[in-house]
Amino acid sequence: AQKVTQAQTEISVVEKEDVTLDCVYETRDTTYYLFWYKQPPSGELVFLIRRNSFDEQNEISGRYSWNFQKSTSSFNFTITASQVVDSAVYFCALSGNAGGTSYGKLTFGQGTILTVHP
Amino acid sequence: DAMVIQNPRYQVTQFGKPVTLSCSQTLNHNVMYWYQQKSSQAPKLLFHYYDKDFNNEADTPDNFQSRRPNTSFCFLDIRSPGLGDAAMYLCATSRDFSSGILGSGANVLTFGAGSRLTVL
> Is residue B86 predicted with pLDDT exceeding 70?
yes
Instruction: List, for residues B32-55, the tens digit of each pLDDT value.
Output: 999 999 998 999 999 999 889 999
Q: Is A105 on the interface with B (CB under 8 A)?
A: yes
> Is residue B99 predicted with pLDDT exceeding 70?
no
Chain A residues whose CB is inside 8 A of the B55 CB are 101
List, in sequence order, every beta strand (DSSP E) within chain B. 4-7, 10-13, 19-25, 31-37, 44-50, 53-56, 64-70, 73-78, 87-94, 110-111, 115-119
The pLDDT tens digits along chain A (118 residues) read 789 999 999 999 999 999 999 999 999 888 888 999 999 988 889 999 988 888 888 888 899 999 999 999 999 999 999 999 999 999 999 987 655 555 567 899 999 999 999 9
- How many of the other CB atoms lie within 10 Å of CB of A83? 12
- Residues B8-12, mean pLDDT to the nearest whole number: 96
Cα separation, B75 vs B65, in Å, equals 8
Nearest Cα neighbor of B70 from B116, B26, B119 is B26
pLDDT recorded at residue A93: 94
pLDDT recorded at residue A61: 86
> Is residue B117 predicted with pLDDT exceeding 50?
yes
Chain B residues whose CB is inside 8 A of the A42 CB are 113
Q: Is A90 on the interface with B (CB under 8 A)?
A: no
